[in-house]
Amino acid sequence: MAGAFDRELQVAIRAVTEAASLCRDVQAGITADVLAKKDRSPVTVADFGSQALICRTLHDAFADDPVIAEEDSAELQKPENHELLSRVLQHVSKHCPNVNEPEICNWIDHGRTRVYKPRFWTLDPIDGTKGFLRGEQYAVSLALIVNGRIEVAILGCPNLPVSPNEGTALGVIFYAVRGQGAWSKPIVGEDTPRRVQVSPRSDPTLAQFCESVESGHSSHDRAAVIAGNLGLTQPPVRMDSQAKYAVVARGVAEIYLRLPTRVDYQEKIWDHAGGVLIVTEAGGTVTDIAGKPLEFTHGSELIANRGVIATNGPLHARVLTEIQALGLR
């Protein structure tokens, strides 16, 4: 007997898997010369290609569902960017033969919704663009939100190991349906899904925390103070994207800190929705820095929240205490 949101889950996993394949193909073509020129076009191509594939799949399966996604095709359609659009077409056509450029732009623009709806998807086609360019961590994140609650979440992490304790095979899909736990499986190949669970550690001196590579995304200085006050002895693991949520969910780290760097900054829902449900269904806790649940009822931004804290659960109250002691609001 099918469970709640089973069809949505299967469609979403298929969409994210296909998009991750496209992203891997693009990333494989990044050379030292491209990096030396600071050429961001590969991530732009992968970003648009990923969104086109996922929005196409969602529209075909759930035509009435709006999508709040990061990109739209306005820049891509400018005459000076025609070469980029041609490259997007090249990669998308490997998955959708006979597609044309207007169709790709229409698929991308299926993600232009910005206002709250009772039921909608939110998508980040590539979360962690600098990690993508460095050949490091990035994620494809997709979540279904119904009546303000995240019901289905998928994180595709092409450069995370399939298992933290086994071999060197890379590429894993994390997924969750509310009330059904968090699971993972390889991006490539058929394998039995594995239950994902957070670490049970309650001693902060034994904990590992992770944060963004870029200090512009999270205050590293304040995070270091909090880590010192908690008695953490390990240096932080810094990685791009919602892969940080994944490593907390699978018990590799206990704390993810995303501390505000500007008073006026509002987090985008596509940067968090997928990871939030993965962590909570794995047994963890996610709030803002005041301890409030994240609110996904305000369109594309988390306007009712400041910062994001994800933990394994037992350490959450202690982390919030240290944040409040610093006077963060």
- 39, 65, 72, 129: the catalytic one is 129
**Has domain 6-196 been given CATH number 3.30.70.3000?**
no
Element (H, E) at 33: helix 32-36
Quick check: is 129 catalytic? yes
Boundaries of every domain in the chain: 6-196, 204-325
Task: Write down how long the chain is.
Answer: 329
**CA pair distance 296, 201, nearest whole angstrom:** 29
- 47, 109, 127, 288: the catalytic one is 47
Q: Which two tokens stand for residue 105?
A: 């732009």
**CA pair distance 274, 279, nearest whole angstrom:** 9
**Residue-by-residue pLDDT tens, the chain, 329 positions:** 467 899 999 999 999 999 999 999 999 998 777 776 788 899 999 999 999 999 999 999 999 999 999 999 999 999 999 999 999 999 999 999 999 999 999 999 999 999 999 999 999 999 999 999 999 999 999 999 999 999 999 999 999 999 987 667 899 999 999 999 999 999 998 788 999 999 999 999 999 999 888 755 556 788 889 999 999 988 888 899 999 999 999 999 999 999 888 888 899 999 999 999 999 999 999 999 999 999 999 999 999 999 999 999 999 999 999 999 988 76
Q: 328 burial class (0-12, 13-18, 19+ CB within 10 angstroms)?
A: middle
Return the closest-CA partner of residue 143 out of 120, 161, 165, 168: 120
**Has domain 204-325 been given CATH number 3.40.190.80?**
yes
Q: Are 138 and 241 in contact (CB under 8 A)?
A: yes
Quick check: is 47 catalytic? yes
Q: 298 burial class (0-12, 13-18, 19+ CB within 10 angstroms)?
A: middle
Q: Which pTM does this prediction carry?
A: 0.95
**CA pair distance 228, 232, nearest whole angstrom:** 6
Whole-angstrom CA distances from 235 to 104, 210, 228, 265 are 43, 9, 10, 27
